[in-house]
């Protein structure tokens, strides 16, 4: 990433191609794709340049399960923890699900594999929201 938060696709693809070629020579291509997915997910979402469609182009071009799964996991994990009141439920997770659902609708035609990742993230957050709602309801009943 450059100082202006942009990504040079030529430099990125050169690095990825070299890494994947070397990994393939060592019979470690799956591991390389896992790590590449994690690295691509680290691009900050809180900058004006988000989303960087170059990242989406790379995911679409490589399109391996290892890369996509680890991109998805890293995107989910970089959200970190949250704090809330004991009876608040899953509103934070519902907001995150809405955010990813919006990305699905924006990119499903241009980047279908990336949209699929975002769909799965949205679904995962909705499951978490339901779990938090259930826990909050149990806490209310026990209180």
Q: Which of the four pLDDT bands, split at 50, 70 and 90, describes residue 23?
A: very high
Closest to 105 in 3D by CA, of 92, 116, 91, 94? 116
Tell me the per-residue pLDDT of 72-122, one tens digit each, with 9 for 90 and over.
999 998 877 778 877 889 999 999 999 999 999 999 999 999 999 999 999
Query: Which pLDDT score is estimated for 119?
Result: 97
Per-residue pLDDT, 1: 66
49 has pLDDT over 70 = no
* pTM for the model: 0.86
| Same-domain pairing of 49 and 86 | no
Looking at the 3D structure of the chain, how many domains does it have? 2
Boundaries of domain holding 57: 1-67+74-78
Shared-domain flag, residues 51 and 95: no
* pLDDT at residue 48 tops 90: no
């Amino acid at each position: 990433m450059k100082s202006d938060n942009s990504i040079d696709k030529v430099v990125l693809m050169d690095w990825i191609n070299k890494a994947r070629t070397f990994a393939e020579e060592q019979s470690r291509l799956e591991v390389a794709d896992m790590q590449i997915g994690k690295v691509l997910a680290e691009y900050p979402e809180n900058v004006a340049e988000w989303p960087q469609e170059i990242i989406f182009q790379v995911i679409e071009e490589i399109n391996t399960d290892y890369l996509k799964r680890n991109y998805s996991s890293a995107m989910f994990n970089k959200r970190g923890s949250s704090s809330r009141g004991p009876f608040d439920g899953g509103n934070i997770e519902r907001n995150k699900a809405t955010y990813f659902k919006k990305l699905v609708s924006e990119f499903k035609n241009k980047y279908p594999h990336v949209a699929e990742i975002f769909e799965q993230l949205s679904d995962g957050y909705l499951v978490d929201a339901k779990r938090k709602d259930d826990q909050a309801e149990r806490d209310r009943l026990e209180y």
